[in-house]
Amino acid sequence: MPRQVCPTCQRPLNVCYCSALVHIPNRIRVLIIQHPLEQKHPFNTGRMAQQCLDNSELIVAEHMTDDELGQLLKPSSALLYPSLAWLPEVEQVAPGSALAASLEQLVVIDANWKKSKKILHLHPKLQQLPRVSFEGDLRSGYQIRHSSMENSLSTIESIVMAMQQLESDRDFQAMLRPFARMIELQTECAAPAPDRE
């Protein structure tokens, strides 16, 4: 008999984190483009972020036509992504800037690094968007999943950091509660059972 799964977080009921979900009214719409392989990953945090943000949308796709992507992008959109050497140089969205104040949408790619690069290669329009990037020593709380790239954060941690900078009048840190709960539950499941006497 298959395990029962929560319809909201799509996790087995014994590791459901939904009791920790929050709802935050955000001005800047967050568009999460999730790679199809990420959709089924048990520790994906793109879905979690979308459930916490009132003004957000999650699209599952690796490739879209220019028309399909154009319909999703708002006139004033920015891409949340590191400024890597192979990407074109574009305007950086600085916190408190006029561009940040006029920003309508933040586009986020939810995938591992290899798949996120593929999505960007397939969509030059995304590469040309103004960019939100972070500098400095970044430390992820993602103990149950590891990245192939140093100094990287999970999707939800990246969104929290970006939105906190872009909409500093709101507290986006609360979005990390379900993330922490997911890690806590998974750590408990992975812990060895105590010895019985």
Q: pLDDT tens digits, residue range 79-134?
A: 999 888 888 999 999 988 999 999 999 999 999 889 999 999 999 999 999 999 98
pLDDT at residue 177, as a whole number = 95
pLDDT at residue 131, as a whole number = 96
Has residue 196 got a pLDDT over 80?
no
Task: Mark 104-128 as b/e (b = at least 16 C-beta within 10 Å).
Answer: ebbbbbbbbeebbbbbbeebeebee
pTM of the model: 0.88
| Average pLDDT of the segment spanning 140-163 | 71
| Secondary structure of residue 109 in the 3-state scheme | strand
Which residue has tokens 């400095």?
A: 136
| Residue 13: its H or E element | none
Long-range contacts of 36-43, Cβ-Cβ distance < 8 Å, separation of 24 or more: 36/60, 36/61, 36/62, 37/111, 37/115, 38/110, 38/111, 38/112, 38/115, 42/11, 43/142, 43/144, 43/145, 43/182, 43/186
